[in-house]
Each structure stands twice: as C-alpha cells, then as structure tokens.
C-alpha cells in the first residue's frame, strides 16, 4: 500500500468528522467513492464541502446542495463560507471539541481550505497536484483540530482525461494534451467559447485552432500549434481562470 494511503487511513481512524473537499465545478468527478465507503464502514460523519464555488454559476448551487447532505459551499480563495463551515462542524459535533479529517482528490483545494479556516497559512499550498506529502495537524481554534491528508485517487481509477480535467494530473505533465483538451472542449464548449470570446463550431479541433490563432500559439509557417494551445487551455481550466 502506498504511504499516502496509510496517512489517509490513519486520518479516517482518528477523525470524528471527515470533510470531503469537492470541486464545485465537477462534483461527481471529484468524489472519491472508495474513501466515502471507508468513512461509512467506520461509522464516521461525513461533511461535503464544495470548494471553488466562485467558479460556478449560482443556479447550479441548489441542485448540487440537495443531492449531497450535509454540505457547505465555500471559496477558500476568496475566504467565502468559512464561518458557515465552522458552524456546520460544531453543529455536527454538538458543540463538543472535535477532530476533523480533510480528504479529497489532488488539487481540489484542501490546503487552501485549511488556510482559510485557520487563518494562519498553516498548510502549504501549490497549484501543482500532490503537493501535500504527509500527515499534518492544524489547530483552528479551541474546539476544532484538522487532520490533513495528501490528495488520493481511487486505486483502480486510471482515467487520464478525468484526472486532467479535475487537476489531479497537472497540465504540465499530460502526455496526450491535445486529446484531453478536445474532450474538455466537447464537455464545456459553451463556457470555453465565452471565456476566449471565439466563434462556435461543431468541431472541437476548430475551436482549439481558433484559440491558437487568437493567442498567437503558432508553429513555423504560421500554422496553429494545437499542443501549445491545448496546454494553455488546460492551465486556464485547472487554475480557475475559466468559470463553469
């Protein structure tokens, strides 16, 4: 068993409440059903926290919130929702001092969430996935102690396109960057067209070409460099420039 799974299992054992941090733009894609099953088996309380809510259209909130309970929307970047989150934690602990585990996919914003809650920059953050390496304890206040974990993927999940879209696999490390970008365009075309202010097309490759020409991502002879344009698109998506 990889060492990070040992950290995760230790946190699940020690925590009374487990927060699963999810990307509000991609809730189902960033749910770790393997960890959720472990939480259920251990009889621990789970609290779903939808991070990056500043990147999601507000009309999506009610639908998402009704499907997973209890849940809280936050933006750790803008420090939105952290007070509500603290109240929800204490509500679940019935006002008692509590140890809270933080789990989630790589790059969903666990460390940023911890920093927003603690207000001290206690957990180091990076836009690169897999930055948190080990077991960390962070005291939020007299009643809330957080246990951080490295981001983990379900052990049998090998979906490169999904991991690229969620940021679990960094845009700089994707091999088939064009294929992943084309798939993202198919799934999020309207959002991408609006962000880059380009024309609609039924062909995802034409959309990627437009991005390349608009931002001067060209190869010799003035042709569109689709690989460079694709990496730019995925970087903009992963770093939250493109709002869903």
CATH superfamily of 3-148: P-loop containing nucleotide triphosphate hydrolases (3.40.50.300)
As a whole number, mean pLDDT of residues 91-103 equals: 95
pLDDT of residue 88: 95
pLDDT of residue 110: 85
Is the model's pLDDT at 60 over the cut of 80? no
pTM: predicted TM-score of the whole model, two decimal places:
0.71
Q: What is the mean pLDDT of the chain?
A: 84
Give the chain's length: 244
Q: What residues does each domain of the chain span? A: 3-148, 170-238
């Amino acid at each position: 068993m990889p060492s990070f799974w040992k950290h995760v299992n230790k946190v699940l054992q020690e925590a009374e409440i487990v927060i699963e941090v999810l990307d509000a733009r991609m809730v189902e894609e960033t749910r770790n059903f393997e960890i959720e099953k472990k939480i259920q088996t251990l009889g621990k309380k789970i609290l779903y926290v939808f991070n990056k809510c500043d990147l999601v259209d507000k009309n999506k909130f009610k639908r998402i919130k009704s499907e997973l309970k209890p849940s809280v929307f936050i933006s750790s970047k803008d420090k939105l929702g952290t007070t509500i989150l603290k109240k929800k934690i204490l509500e679940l602990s019935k006002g008692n001092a509590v140890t809270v585990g933080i789990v989630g996919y790589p790059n969903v914003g666990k460390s940023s969430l911890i920093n927003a809650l603690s207000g001290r920059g206690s957990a180091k953050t990076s836009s690169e996935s897999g930055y948190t390496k080990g077991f960390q304890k962070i005291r939020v206040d007299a009643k809330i102690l957080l246990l951080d974990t490295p981001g983990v993927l379900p052990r049998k999940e090998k979906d490169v396109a999904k991991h690229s879209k969620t940021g679990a696999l960094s845009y700089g490390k994707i091999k088939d960057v064009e294929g992943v970008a084309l798939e993202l365009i198919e799934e999020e075309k309207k959002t991408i067209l609006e962000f880059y202010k380009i024309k609609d097309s039924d062909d995802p490759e034409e959309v990627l070409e437009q991005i390349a020409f608009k931002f001067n991502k060209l190869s010799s002879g003035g042709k569109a460099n689709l690989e460079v344009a694709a990496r730019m698109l995925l970087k903009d998506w992963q770093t939250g420039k493109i709002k869903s």
